[in-house]
Structure 1
Amino acid sequence: MANTALPSRSSLAERLDVLPFTRRHLRLLTGSGLGWALDAMDVGLISFILAALTQQWGLTKGEAGWIASVGFIGMAIGATLGGLLADRFGRRQVFALTLLVYGIATGASALVGGLAALLVLRFLVGLGLGAELPVASTYVSEFAPARIRGRLIVVLEAFWALGWTAAAVIGFLVIPASDDGWRWAFALGAIPAVYALFVRWRMPESPRWLASRGRIAEADRIVSAFEADAGVGGAPAIRKEPASRAIAVTARARLATLWNPEFRLRTLCLWAVWLGVNFAYYGAFIWIPSILVDAGFDLVRSFGFTLIITLAQLPGYAVAAWLIEVWGRRVTLSVFLLGSAVSAVIFGTATTEGAIIAAGMALSFFNLGAWGALYAVTPEIYPTSLRGTGAGWAAGVGRIASIVAPLSVPVLLLAGGAPLLFAVFGVCFLGAAAAAWGLVDRGGQALDDR
């Protein structure tokens, strides 16, 4: 009689961890990366659109700040809800929902005629995109082979640079071309969401999540498909996991578990890092085009400078992707955060064109490398049953800082100009670098599949 026993959760995880990198991994990585790039393109476009709308609509700095911040309010709510939903209903379904919300709201933003409607739609865009990022990093980490897991997450995060670069190109070529340039920018931002939604529906569910819900047979079929693609045989069938292992846990219980003695320190430190990095990054990069305009550069020139600065994000990711498996998560994260702090202070005091571009490029290089390391370490420090919730709430709490940052920039600029503003960003980076040492570094180790 054929052996019909199903593999255990532990054997499924081990089989995923020892796989070589396959074409299925590549499709999964690029499919997830499309959503990541869309998120970056949207946030990047807003930085250029703000500069244009401030001139066209006569917006105050406070009104412009609210256009940016209301999107981050949506992202904060989306991140916390997205993680909870991903742990309850699965990673893939939440992916598709986030892109649907994003695409509709972004397309509608191109048609608005006033500030109130734009604020409502920016909130909805943020709701969709906020849920996407922590779910994507959790999803990819659960498929990635253990020895290259951190590197793959940094590569995933590198799609952010592609999206932001696309935003910079659109900002430079499209937005200044006519009074309706910003509308065309929103329209262009919605088009890729249709393709990304199609790609997401073709992606498999996470076997680790399926196994955690007691759906061992489905998980085994997906892992076997990856093994067949790699040309390796599956593990022999082992005993069937008892059904009692698949326990439905309430959202409230998962949130409470983040603060039990085992996870309390890592949760506290993780939230501190997310808060510091979000405040400094979004405070700086959302406002850089407008700050350059205020410094006397015209719209086209300031957008050109921002495009050059943005290009430095890609080598930042590349270096972080290499170092994260050499130095480890915590060292790489803290070094890139220290580099961000120094670059921020220099940028705030730069006066010549060359100094502004060089310091801005250094800030892009170190800051985006730090983002890559942060997204690599975040899903690794929690077990499978908490991974989406832990990553989602860390991102959601971080979004609080991204809400406050755009509103704080006008106040800080008025109080002490760019030197004070970027000194504050430097302090935030330093605090995040210190908090990084309270995180658990699981580089090269198997994920905790409890």
Structure 2
Amino acid sequence: MSQAEPKPMEIAEIEDTSLLAFYRDMNNKERHTFWACASGWTLDGMDFMIYPLVIGTIITLWKVDPGTAGLAGTVTLLASAVGGWLGGYLSDRIGRVKTLQLTIIWFSFFSLVCALVQNFDQLLIARALLGLGFGGEWAAGAVLIGEAIRPQYRGRAVGSVQSGWAVGWGLAVLSQAVLFSILPAESAWRWMFMIGALPALLVFYLRRYVTEPEISAATMAQQQASGSGPAALWEIFQGPILKTTLLASLVGTGMQGGYYAITFWVPRFLTTERKLSVVGSTGYLATLIIGSFIGYLVGAWLADRIGRRNLFLIFSLGAIAVVLLYTQLPLSNEVLWVLGFPLGFFASGYFSGMGAFLTELYPTRLRGSGQGFCYNFGRGIGALFPFLVGALSTTTSLANAIAIFAVAAYGVFFLAAYALPETRGRVLHAD
């Protein structure tokens, strides 16, 4: 058996499938890890969603076209793809917790830089640098929580952590509603970016109390004792692991391409094609975010109940159906408000299974590199979608552009997920 090949699958029996069973049975170490990672996802969601919320203001103030404005979102995601792969690789070399501390300091600093830029080119550079830390933080945090939680609870715990993204999104929307109500748009967007950096202090404090997962520490100790050293960056493309890497990368591409095509441009869709004000669109976004939050929790429960793969198949089809309804039918604003819930539900809930799924696909010595690459390769390709939707919207409606790219992405997601094995309950080894 090659070093990169995982051991035969050992499955832990899942006796209690209730959503909160994992939390009731946690010890203090696991709870510290859970809350630290949940705070990290919240911060990630807040920082990323700030820009889509202020993109209309940026377009107006600096006279940039939608395609160019979307480019800043694309550059952030492309940089996060690189940062995620490198962050995952670094977490295999120096540990998950140390990598988290480095990445959170990095992207918090550049969130502040975004608030101080003087033109769009400077903003583009600042968002790219922020993206490096943003991607690395996800990669290290996803491996950390996946390894720290017992296999019978992994899907629910990792999925519940993922729900922090919706909380961060909600905080960003709340900040927008307050700041744009009391400040002129010319300064409100800068305060949005400043607020995006503040929670980093709390998250960094929490992470000081999180220790390295035992399985990761044991693997690094084995490598040091044997003199073999950490795995090379390219080992995820060798032997039987190559097929896993290719298919998992396509899963990451489809799920994130669809998500970004929707969430990045829906605020702009509401204020232009639906003629809502920035403040007036808050209620519509709130419904979308509530649906997203519930979707994360339901997805976390289903990941352990029906398996990661079935979760992906069901939610990708649901997302296709709802995005077509939301963008293609001549619905009243009242109906559109109601549809925001299922749109957020299906466009977010599948993420709850992804962290656990990638954790279970790779052996420990390759887990950071493999998980970091696959998810962030998908993020990098998905990063093209905000730009492409914006560019296409110059020749057709924004609604059509969103639908075209979202449906294509979810189709890829469905097919790639169908080709991969189920991993629910897989026991991890120090290998």
Spell out the pairing of 1:410-425 with structure 2 (5 A cutoff). Answer: 410-417=390-397, 418-425=399-406
Spell out the pairing of 1:36-47 with structure 2 (5 A cutoff). Answer: 36-47=41-52
Structure 1 residue 393 corresponds to structure 2 residue 373? yes
Identify the match of residue 269 of structure 1 among 224, 244, 247.
247
Percent identical? 26
Spell out the pairing of 1:202-281 with structure 2 (5 A cutoff). Answer: 202-214=209-221, 243-244=225-226, 247-252=228-233, 255=234, 257-281=235-259
For residues 154-184 of structure 1, the C-alpha deviation after alignment (integer angstroms, 9 at most, x for no partner) is: 0111111111111111122213532311111
- Indicate the structure (1 or 2) with the bigger Cα radius of gyration: 1
Corresponding residue of 2:194: 187
For residues 275-325 of structure 1, the C-alpha deviation after alignment (integer angstroms, 9 at most, x for no partner) is: 111211112111111121211222221233222211211111121121111
Equivalent AA in structure 1 for residue 188 of structure 2:
G
TM-score by length of 1: 0.86
Identify the match of residue 63 of structure 2 among 39, 58, 61.
58
Distance 1:44 1:81 in 2: 23
Residues 339, 37 of structure 1: CA spacing in aligned structure 2 closer, same or farther, 3 A cutoff?
same
Where structure 1 has 5 or more consecutive residues not aligned to the other structure, the ranges are 1-9, 217-241
Residues 22, 250 of structure 1: CA spacing in aligned structure 2 closer, same or farther, 3 A cutoff?
closer
Q: Is the 8 A contact 1:259 1:267 kept in 2?
A: yes
| 106-115 or 141-150, larger mean C-alpha shift | 106-115
Q: Is the 8 A contact 2:109 2:197 kept in 1?
A: yes
Corresponding residue of 2:203: 196
SS in structure 2 of the partner of residue 442 of structure 1: coil
Tell me the CA shift for residue 63 of structure 1.
Answer: 2.4
Tell me the CA shift for residue 215 of structure 1.
Answer: 6.6
Equivalent AA in structure 2 for residue 324 of structure 1:
A
Spell out the pairing of 1:74-223 with structure 2 (5 A cutoff). Answer: 74-177=79-182, 178=184, 179-214=186-221
Corresponding residue of 2:422: 441
Identify the match of residue 285 of structure 1 among 242, 258, 263.
263
Distance 2:401 2:68 in 1: 22
Distance 1:436 1:23 in 2: 35
Distance 2:31 2:88 in 1: 24
Distance 1:48 1:402 in 2: 19
| 115-124 or 407-416, larger mean C-alpha shift | 407-416
Residues 75, 175 of structure 1: CA spacing in aligned structure 2 closer, same or farther, 3 A cutoff?
farther
Identify the match of residue 303 of structure 1 among 273, 282, 290.
282
Distance 2:401 2:49 in 1: 24
Corresponding residue of 1:384: 364
CA RMSD in angstroms, aligned pairs only: 2.3
Where structure 2 has 5 or more consecutive residues not aligned to the other structure, the ranges are 1-6, 16-21
Q: Is the 8 A contact 1:86 1:388 kept in 2?
A: yes
Equivalent AA in structure 1 for residue 318 of structure 2:
G
Equivalent AA in structure 2 for residue 249 of structure 1:
P
Equivalent AA in structure 1 for residue 175 of structure 2:
I
Q: Is the 8 A contact 1:48 1:303 kept in 2?
A: no
Tell me the CA shift for residue 74 of structure 1.
Answer: 1.7
Equivalent AA in structure 2 for residue 208 of structure 1:
I
Corresponding residue of 1:374: 354
Equivalent AA in structure 2 for residue 270 of structure 1:
A
Distance 1:175 1:67 in 2: 21
Q: Is the 8 A contact 1:214 1:243 kept in 2?
A: yes
SS in structure 2 of the partner of residue 299 of structure 1: coil
Distance 2:401 2:36 in 1: 41
Distance 1:202 1:423 in 2: 45
